[in-house]
Amino acid sequence: MSGRRAELVVSGVSKRFGRTVILSTVDLTVHGGEVIALTGENGAGKTTLMRICAGLIRADAGSVRVGGRIGYCPQVPGLFELLTANDHLVMFGRGAGIDRAESLRRGHAILEEFGYPLRERTVTRDLSGGTRQKLNLALALLADPTILLLDEPYQGFDRGTYVNFWDHCQVWRDAGKAVVVVTHMLAELERVDRVIELPAHPSRTLARS
Amino acid sequence: MRSLRRIVIMGEMHGRDLTKRHAAFALLIALPLSFYLASAGTGTKSIVAGGVGMAFAVSGATLFSVLSSGEVDQRLVLAGYRPHELLFGRLLFLAPMGIAIGGAFTALMTVVSHPARPALTFVGLSAVALLSIPFGLAVGAAVPRELEGTLVLIGVVGLQLAIEPTSPVAHVLPFYGPRTLIASSLGAGGPILWPMVLTSAYGIALFVLARLLVGRRVGVERHSRVTDR
């Protein structure tokens, strides 16, 4: 990766919840134009690490440095149940300083790429899980972030959209974005540049035994 | 200017969200109405009961708007909003709505209960509605679970209704000012300025408290920049 800019640098990040150590001195550097798969068994701390990188929770120790704007797609879509996709695009776009028309233009372009039914005026509560997830992903991409943190973003996707998602990882790589995808899909690991596996930490292994 | 635009958008979206909740919207009207009508035989005391019902309704709606959007709020902060913009956005929609409900109830109460000073009744009911918003925001931010939040809300507002206004405890509860204003509107005399100042002070204090607590809950850590590339 020499010559490429580091966009996300995680140094010695540790996190515990109560007596349970979730992350212990994790180091990770992601460069622009690189797609990383973050794997590990349930409870290994993948989501916690993503949330720390996004700034949603604080690490107990260590630091995170970033090269630009972060786009974060959480595992569970956090959406207003009675608002439409357009409402969400306008609201999230405004947060990034994008006006209404531009938010809709950009948002529709992203949604269209993932096969979202654009004529749909349904509120998010009545959308299928996969369709909600498409909107969730579009909101993460709306402000054209440099760093993409995607926590199992394909949940509920049909086969075509799932393949489409991984094709887009290539597009984002070519666009110079730093992409981290939390995934359990071993078949797709050949499509990423590196695989980082978070270990189950000894304190939890001992607790289970 | 950017901040104002974000607040306006948040107000618009909260308005769209709440107005689609038809049952909740109907209850916002029905709750104070039922409090008022249930005590209609008690003369002007029914106006106080209606005001307390309004406190339940508006603060409950505000509490729900905070508790139901915790996950989204933090994501909105990540997208660029500041925590106080999320709060002001709710205030922007709920405040005019509360004043409108207060106006409608004043009209009804003027016809049915004949308060001596209807304009002051309107001020009192509006004060209830306006204070209910920062109260709901503060409770929602301090107790981020539905059941506990609702119980705190019922406890405080219910206590205000249950105890005598002359009791020392009544003086320190948040709705003492609006209740005094409503009571003053029922007769020819009674304090006006002091309860208005008290209501304003309580409203500002509760809003500041809500801002501090919401900031801790939905705040996003801004990472330092990579300098060594």
ipTM field: 0.89
Dihedral of CA atoms B130, B134, B137, B139 in degrees, nearest 10, equals: -110
**What average pLDDT does range A115-143 have in this prediction?**
89
CB-CB under 8 Å, B229 with A6: yes
For residue B229, list chain A residues with Cβ-Cβ distance below 8 A.
5-6, 67
pLDDT bin (cut points 50, 70, 90) of residue A200 is confident
Structural Rg of chain B based on CA atoms: 19
Q: Lowest mean pLDDT: which of A80-94, A103-117, A188-202, B187-201?
A: A188-202
Q: Out of B9, B13, B75, name the one closest to residue A78 (CB).
A: B75
Distance CA A201, CA B33 (A): 58
Check residue A156 and give its pLDDT.
86
Distance of CA B218 to the CA centre of its chain: 21
Tell me what pLDDT residue B16 has.
92
Instruction: Note the pLDDT of residue B65.
Output: 87
A171 CA: distance to closest CA in chain B (Å): 23
∠ CA B165-B167-B169, nearest 5°, is 105
Q: What is the pLDDT of residue A202?
A: 56
Q: Is A115 on the interface with B (CB under 8 A)?
A: no
Q: Which residue has the tokens 């004949």?
A: B114
Q: Mean of the pLDDT values across residues B206-212?
A: 96
* DSSP β-ladder status, A194-197 and A34-39: parallel
Nearest-10 crossing angle of helices B22-38, B45-67 = 160
Q: Please tell me if residue A65 touches chain B, with a CB cutoff of 8 Å.
A: yes
> What is the C-alpha to C-alpha distance for residues A42 and A63, in angstroms, rounded to an integer?
24
Contact B225 A63 (CB under 8 A): no
Does position B168 have pLDDT exceeding 80, yes or no? yes
- Mean pLDDT value across residues A110-129: 86
What gap in Å lies between CA A45 and CA A59, rounded to an integer?
12
User: Which residue has tokens 């035994």?
Assistant: A209
Residue B37, pLDDT above cutoff 70: yes
**Nearest CB to A91 within list B13, B74, B224:** B13
Please report, as a single letter, which amino acid is at residue A104.
Answer: L
Asked whether the predicted pLDDT for residue A183 surpasses 80, the reply is: yes
Nearest to A86 by CA among A50, A59, A121: A121
pLDDT higher than 50, residue B9: yes
Name the packing angle between helices B83-113 and B193-218 (round to 10°). 150
Q: What are the backbone angles phi and psi of residue B21, rounded to the nearest 5°?
A: -90, 80
Q: Which chain A residues are closer than 8 Å to B71 by Cβ?
A: 74, 76, 78
Report chain A residues whose CB lies below 8 A from the CB of B20: 82, 123
CA distance B85 to B92: 10
Residue B171 pLDDT exceeds 60: yes
Quick check: A101 contacting B, CB < 8 Å? no
Sequence-ordered alpha helix ranges (H) in chain A? 46-54, 85-95, 100-113, 129-141, 159-174, 202-208
Least confident of A90-94, A117-121, A129-133, B155-159: A117-121
CB A149 within 8 A of CB A180: yes
Of residues A56, A79, A123, nearest to B72 (C-beta): A79
Q: Which of B5, B74, B228 sits opposite A94 (nearest CB)?
A: B5
Give the confidence band of B103 by pLDDT, cuts at 50, 70, 90: very high
Range in A130-134, A186-190, B82-86 the model is least confident about:
A186-190
Alpha-carbon span A189 to A196, nearest angstrom: 10
Rounded percentage of chain A residues whose pLDDT exceeds 90: 70
> In what side-by-side order are the strands of the sheet with B224-225?
A20-31, A6-17, A61-66, B224-225
| pLDDT tier at A190, thresholds 50, 70, 90 | confident
Within an 8 Å CB–CB cutoff, is residue A3 touching chain B? no
Residue B89's SS3 state is helix
Q: Does A98 touch chain B (CB under 8 A)?
A: no
Total-model pTM:
0.89
Give the pLDDT score at B46: 87
Determine the average pLDDT of the residues in B30-46: 84
Answer whether B80 sits within 8 Å of A143, measured CB to CB. yes
Q: How confident is the model at residue A208 (pLDDT cuts 50, 70, 90)?
A: very low
Q: How many whole angstroms separate alpha carbon A108 and alpha carbon A117?
A: 10
CA distance B220 to chain A (A): 5
What is the pLDDT at residue A204?
A: 53
Question: Residue B68 — very low, low, confident or very high, per pLDDT cuts 50/70/90?
Answer: confident
**Considering only CA atoms, which of A146, A147, A117 is closest in space to residue A131?**
A117
Q: Burial, B201: exposed, middle or buried (Cβ in 10 Å; 0-12, 13-18, 19+)?
A: exposed
Mean pLDDT over B149-164 rounds to: 90
* pLDDT band at residue A205 under the 50/70/90 scheme: very low
Residue B229 pLDDT greater than 80, yes or no: no
For the segment B69-85, the average pLDDT, to the nearest whole number, is 92
Averaged confidence pLDDT in chain B: 91
pLDDT band (50, 70, 90) for residue A19: confident
User: Rounded CA gap, A183 and A189, in Å?
Assistant: 9
From first CA to last CA, the distance across chain B in angstroms is 35
pLDDT greater than 90 at residue B41 = no
Residue A103, pLDDT score: 97
Closest B-chain CA to A95: B80
Check whether B40 has a pLDDT greater than 70. Answer: yes
pLDDT score of A28: 94
Token pair belonging to B115: 């308060």
User: Burial of A137 by CB count in 10 Å (0-12 exposed, 13-18 middle, 19+ buried)?
Assistant: buried
* Cβ–Cβ gap B225/A83 under 8 Å: no
Task: Flag whether pLDDT at A206 surpasses 50.
Answer: no
3 state DSSP class of B112: helix
What SS3 class is residue B209? helix
Q: Quick count: other Cβ atoms within 10 Å of Cβ B229?
A: 12
- The C-alpha atoms of residue B32 and residue B49 are separated, in whole angstroms, by 8
Percent of chain B with pLDDT over 90: 68
- φ and ψ of A6, to 5 deg: -75, 125
Classify B65 as helix, strand or coil.
helix
Which pLDDT value is given to residue B43? 67
Hey, what amino acid is at B220? Answer: V
Which residues make Cβ contacts (< 8 Å) with residue A153, sequence separation at least 6?
A73, A133, A136, A137, A140, A165, A181
| Residues A36-48, mean pLDDT to the nearest whole number | 91
Q: Do B75 and A97 count as a contact with CB atoms less than 8 A apart? A: no
Of the residues B2, B5, B66, B72, the best mutation for testing chain A's interface (the one with the most A CB atoms within 10 Å of its CB) is B72
pLDDT for A207 equals: 41
